[in-house]
Chains A and B, each alone.
Chain A
Amino acid sequence: MTRKAYIADMADIPLKMGLEVQNGTQPMAIFKLSDTEVYAIGNICPHRQGPLAAGMVTGKAVICPLHSWQISLLNGEPLLENAGKAGVPTYETVIEAGKLYVMVD
């Protein structure tokens, strides 16, 4: 069953830097690109498990801190030279009354 999990107040989420969310075996990385645009993707880089939340954000992608794979925030797919390889899951985000929620299984 999908549940709606509270993450944090929008105001407390850093802009264009990852927020790490622990969630059992499915940790997430949250990226706020503006007050109305937030993405949630799996935190484990498909290359060698780098923590994507610690990566650098550029456009609508994050660059893994370990070996620079670029992962799309839109669909979790690797980009550029690694396009077509396995990606990370994405999660729906919901902003309600200044609070951020993520839909998780």
Chain B
Amino acid sequence: MAEKLVVIGNGMAGVRAVDNILRANPDLFEITVIGAENYPGYNRILLSEVLEKEMDWPDIITNDYDWYTDNQINLVNDDPATGIDPVKQVVTTGSGAHFDYDKLILATGSMPFILPVPGHDLKNVVAFRSIEDGKYMQQMAATGANIAVIGGGLLGLEAAVGLVDQGATVSVIELAPWLMATQLDETAGKMLQRDLEARGLKFYLGKRTKSILGDDNGQVAGLVFDDGQQLDVTMVVMSLGIRPETTLAKAAGLNVARGITVDSFMRTSDDNIFAIGECTEFEDQLVGTVAPSYAQAKIVADVLCGEPTQPFSPVLETIELKVPGIDLISAGQIKEDGDVRSIIAQDGVNHAYKRIFVKDGVVCGEILYGDVSDGNRYFSMIKRQDEIAQYQATGLLLTEGGGDSTEDLASMPLDEIICGCNGVSKGTILDAIREEQLTSVAGVGKATRAGTSCGKCKPTIEALLQLELGDKAQAMTETMCPCTDLGYDAIITAIKTNHWLTSAAVRRGLNWRTEEGCDKCRPALNYYLNMLFPTEHQEEITARWANERYLANIQKDGTFSVIPRMAGGKTSPEQLIKIAKVAEKFHVPMIKVVNAQRIGLYGIRKADLPKVWHDLDMDSGEAYEKTATREVKACVGKNWCRFGTIDSAGLAELIDRNYVGIDTPHKVKLGVAGCPRNCAEVLTKDFGVIGIEGGYQLYIGGNNGTQVVEASLLTTVKTEDEVLTYFGAYLQWYREHAHYGQRTFKVVQNTGVENVIAMLKDDSQRDAYLERLAIAKAAYQDYRHGLAPWQARLQDEENLKALYTVVDITGQTVKEGV
């Protein structure tokens, strides 16, 4: 009979310990994991990234529910343990369930410290610790709430930036005179403050919160400092540090100081009970990060499985802020005192700052801001306790070897840790690359776990791959789909160089895992072939999604919608009468004016689609396709509106007619407003035009969906013709650079909006894009014989029959029996 192992805490340390045990010996234990949260294992570190919109909730799940089922782990979720009986060896949960154990691991993590001021128990005073917290904060921020974050440390600032990115107004309150006071000195703290102010954060430093004010519903209504100053806020996020969660351990009579006391093999004062992660205390030291939590999760697994293991000892770590665009590193001892001296270099031009701390001729601490390229080198010196007698004191601040980081990496000792979170060394990664013939960062992650937690070491792993494999290393790109390990760029380059003209040839040439691909790569390859060889590639209709194959949007009940074209939202009595007649004749159950300023007929049966379009005899609105002008939203403009400066509806129609039907990686939405009052809401469009006196402002890269992104001003032009050329060039740039399925805002963000703007403003580049677009446009028109999509389809007997035929055999009795 396998022994019973119970783990309390379904967090990062607990899940990692279970995973380690399964890797060492899957049959040794019958495992039960008890968790208080209602989620499977997830990467808590990345909560900040989700709030900052770098990722989405599902992306941070590390072990989904299937993982528990597949490994026969009994997951008792959303049901916290409430008691341990160390004599009978039983754990009880909130729902009253009992679990016997032979061995027990406590991995209960920590609780955020809540400032015990009056009002701390109001409804929207929260801490940032879990997915639940994050979702609530996201929801509040989306309403544009006014939020105070108490605590200007690492987590507080990550939360504050995330909340601003989600649409909230945020004030950060800190008792110390500068930000991240335990990790930064005043100069670096102030530089950070300036950079964060530029992102829209407000700061109240040296301020002590006296109380939080509530309203009649128990909601936050404001916040008061002890100097009497009051802030108008409607939500408070507390981020003042953490306290180990030791309630259960204390009640069970285990030795608990600040955390649960453990020895170097993670044993508590009870032989059958172990503790790991942030709930522990080892030699007076607490845990607050993933690296030691994971190291402990490895030790406990080894001990339980009878594997040889090293005793635990705390490791030195660097501190970094996970805010894109802000680079800082702090490590080691960073306060001057009698023995500790420092050397400072400040580069006002490049907004960079370095301060290195030295004690008895040995480097013992570093603070870098703005340029962190030397951070790892100093950190290695700190860890190795390098004597600096060999360096001129100020020479230390120069970048070594002319800043060649490849050289640094090549000369780095093999036992140096590259992934701090998972404690993976350069040697381990190189071994894995060699033994398992890995070529990608993702592959290294799978084999060694390096790079899978906070992700900040991924660039180093990528550089290591390059060092080892040269150009055989794969750039750290998203792979297209599970059918291949290649990323988009590699695939596109291969298609170009090999001049492959069919998807099948691409799959064969690049050793696809599946003969016919999947629903992700099939449409993508078809698109790229069309885009690269517009005059040679034959459209592959079986690779199209239902919508694009049937030229209609499939609805949840399997019927389709029909949406005729109304360029610029303009219509006429003739059109309206036609639509009305069709709706009546086909008993259309739902007629709706849709967002893109046209009329949608919903609930059309597949077999009726050709008849409906035949009767309508109108151009299709292409609502079903990823094409350039399926939506150009416009206001009425200067011909009617008293504020209008341009004929917005007319321009919308012009753009629409000019670029209709050109295949794109995803939908492209446009908007044209007659003046800055912006009634057409164009600033969240892929391409927006706002009329001003004497010209047109052009905006790019806006989005409105699960992610709302404000568009950036591209340029201001004087004529409608220029609007068309800029849009055309932008469109072709997007066609050539996007991953299939990526909206413009993503591609613009990835390329850097400044770069896109500079490129589009360059006459020769613009012309080159327009030239290629013209070829594509001609090819699409050719393909459809110069007709609108449905008019072309209605003449295509073969596809009409293949796609819209429905056979009915209900009650048919052709041949009885067999």
B-binding residues in A (CB < 8 A): 1-8, 12, 14-17, 19-24, 48-51, 54-59, 63, 65-66, 68, 70, 81, 101-104
Contacts and interface: CB of A to CB of B under 8 A. Distances in A.
Given A17-B542, A22-B810, A66-B556, A54 B514 contact: no
B558 interface: yes
Interface of B: 66, 514-519, 522, 541-547, 549-550, 554, 556-558, 606, 801-803, 805-818
B558 A7 contact: no
Nearest to B69: A84
Contact of B814 (A2, A4, A12): A4
A8 B812 CA distance: 13
Nearest to A51: B558
B545 A56 contact: yes
B807 A20 contact: yes
B518 A63 contact: yes
A7 B807 CA distance: 7
A57 B516 contact: yes
Contact of B558 (A2, A4, A54, A104): A54
A24 B809 CA distance: 8
Nearest to A57: B542
Nearest to B482: A80
Contact of A50 (B541, B558, B606, B802): B558
B808 A21 contact: yes
B801 A54 contact: no
Given A2-B817, A65-B545, A104 B809 contact: yes
Contacts of A102: 809
Given A56-B522, A59-B516, A5 B809 contact: yes
A54 B606 contact: yes
Given A2-B818, A17-B542, A54-B546, A68 B807 contact: no
A65 B557 CA distance: 11
Contacts of A49: 557-558
Nearest to A30: B807
B817 A48 contact: no
A11 B294 CA distance: 62
Counting from the closest, the 6 A-B pairs by CB-CB distance are A14-B802, A51-B558, A65-B546, A22-B808, A54-B546, A58-B516
Contacts of B554: 51, 54, 65-66
Given A51-B558, A54-B554, A66-B554, A5 B812 contact: yes
B519 A63 contact: yes
A73 to B, nearest CB: 12
Given A54-B606, A56-B543, A24 B802 contact: no
17 contacts: A4-B815, A5-B812, A5-B815, A7-B807, A12-B801, A17-B541, A17-B542, A20-B606, A20-B805, A20-B806, A22-B806, A54-B554, A55-B546, A63-B518, A63-B519, A81-B66, A103-B818
A66 B554 CA distance: 8
A72 to B, nearest CB: 14
A50 B802 CA distance: 20
A55 B549 CA distance: 10
B736 to A, nearest CB: 25
B809 A68 contact: no
Contact of B549 (A6, A17, A48, A81): A17
B806 A54 contact: no
Contacts of B809: 5-7, 21-23, 102, 104
B813 A3 contact: yes
A70 to B, nearest CB: 8
A12 B262 CA distance: 75
Given A17-B542, A20-B807, A55-B546, 9 more contacts: A3-B815, A14-B803, A17-B541, A49-B558, A54-B554, A56-B544, A58-B517, A59-B516, A101-B815
Contacts of A70: 518
A65 B807 CA distance: 20
A7 B553 CA distance: 27
Contact of A59 (B514, B813, B814): B514
Contacts of A16: 542
Contacts of A22: 806-810
A19 B556 contact: no
B423 to A, nearest CB: 31
B716 to A, nearest CB: 43
B542 A19 contact: no
A1 B814 CA distance: 13
A104 to B, nearest CB: 7
A4 B716 CA distance: 69
A6 B814 contact: yes
A21 B807 contact: yes
Contact of B812 (A2, A6, A66, A81): A6
A58 B806 CA distance: 22
Contacts of B805: 8, 12, 19-20
B508 to A, nearest CB: 14
A103 to B, nearest CB: 7
Contact of B515 (A5, A19, A59, A63): A59
Contacts of B810: 22-24
A70 B482 CA distance: 14
Nearest to B805: A19
Contacts of B801: 12
B550 A54 contact: yes
B289 to A, nearest CB: 33
A6 B815 contact: yes
Contacts of B543: 56
Contact of B816 (A3, A14, A54, A66): A3
Contacts of A50: 558
Nearest to B522: A56
A23 B263 CA distance: 70
B815 to A, nearest CB: 4
A3 B516 contact: no
Nearest to B523: A56
A55 B542 CA distance: 9
A50 B549 CA distance: 16
A9 to B, nearest CB: 11
Contacts of B550: 54
Contacts of B549: 17, 54
B556 A1 contact: no
Nearest to B516: A58
Contact of B514 (A51, A55, A58, A104): A58
Contacts of B518: 58, 63, 70
A8 B813 contact: no
Contacts of B519: 56, 58, 63, 68
Contacts of B558: 49-51, 54
Contacts of B66: 81
Contacts of A104: 809
Nearest to B559: A51
